[in-house]
Amino acid sequence: MNKLIELENVTKRFSVYDEMIHNDEQVRDGFFYALDDISLSITGGECVIIAGANGSGKSVLMSVIAGLENQTSGVVRTCGKIGLVFQEPDSQILGETPREDIAFGPRNMKLSKSKVKLRVEKALNEIDLEKKADFPARSLSGGEKRRLAAAGVLAMDAEIIIFDEPYANMDYPGIIQINGLLKKLKKDGKTLIILTHELEKCLALADRFIVLFKGKKVFDGSAADGLSLDLKSWCIHNPLENGKQTLEELLW
């Protein structure tokens, strides 16, 4: 299988200036280790769910993979365009309408008007927003805004799409919309990385399940194997404790 992402012994640390956190176990020699010796690889077409409590290192890992931040040490290799769908989709809306917003990226890529139009129409179709293509973008629902953000990265021909907490501040209809999009992207062969602590909503989609705890990778395997472990020891709620009986039920 084609490896699109490879991390070898990746560490990301920050200088500590607050004396109150010097006793934290992630602090050594005056540095806070947000990522501590992380190694992993992701192959094309995989859907990988990365879970962890707040402060576990999920967002820092996303930033390093996407090239928004440089690692302190270790090696990061990526192959293919990476698109990000942030936790707050409003921060990604740059156009007055979905049509204008989706066109922003392809235009910056200096594509011809005809190619921009084709990419916009294709993306609108893929995320099922054709009927609202010319609505005010900021009037869309939360789920529609996240789908719009995904359309923007699809229009830029991203092979790898990272979703950061896709269910944050989302109502039930929005969650259903997001999961419909994730299932479609997975079926289309996109490589998906989903950073979330809400496993009950999507774990059934995972080809791989990775857990971060205090900057370290503590589990990397199948979702079924992960559910058999004591997730509470890593400050993660086991979704099967909500009355669900099987992995297949963990998809809203």
pLDDT at 82: 96
For 21-63, write each residue's pLDDT tens digit. 666 789 988 899 999 999 999 999 999 999 999 889 999 999 9
For residues 8 and 152, the answer to whether their CB atoms sit within 8 Å is: no
Q: Please, which residues have CB within 8 angstroms of residue 251's CB and are 6 or more apart in sequence?
A: 179, 201, 202, 203, 204, 205
For 61-97, write each residue's pLDDT tens digit. 999 999 999 999 999 999 999 999 998 888 889 999 9
CA dist., res. 19 & res. 22, Å (int): 5
Kindly state the average pLDDT of the residues 212-231: 96
Kindly state the average pLDDT of the residues 117-133: 94
Strand partners, 14: 32
For 141-191, write each residue's pLDDT tens digit. 999 999 999 999 999 999 999 999 999 989 999 999 999 999 999 999 999
Does the pLDDT of residue 228 top 90, yes or no?
Answer: yes
**251 by DSSP, 3-state: which?**
coil
Spell out the alpha helix ranges (H) of the chain: 58-66, 98-108, 113-126, 142-155, 172-187, 223-227
CA dist., res. 246 & res. 252, Å (int): 13
* Mean confidence (pLDDT) of the chain: 93
Instruction: Output 85 or 244, whichever has higher pLDDT.
Output: 85
pLDDT tier, 20 (very low <50, low <70, confident <90, very high otherwise)? low
Does the pLDDT of residue 230 top 70, yes or no?
Answer: yes
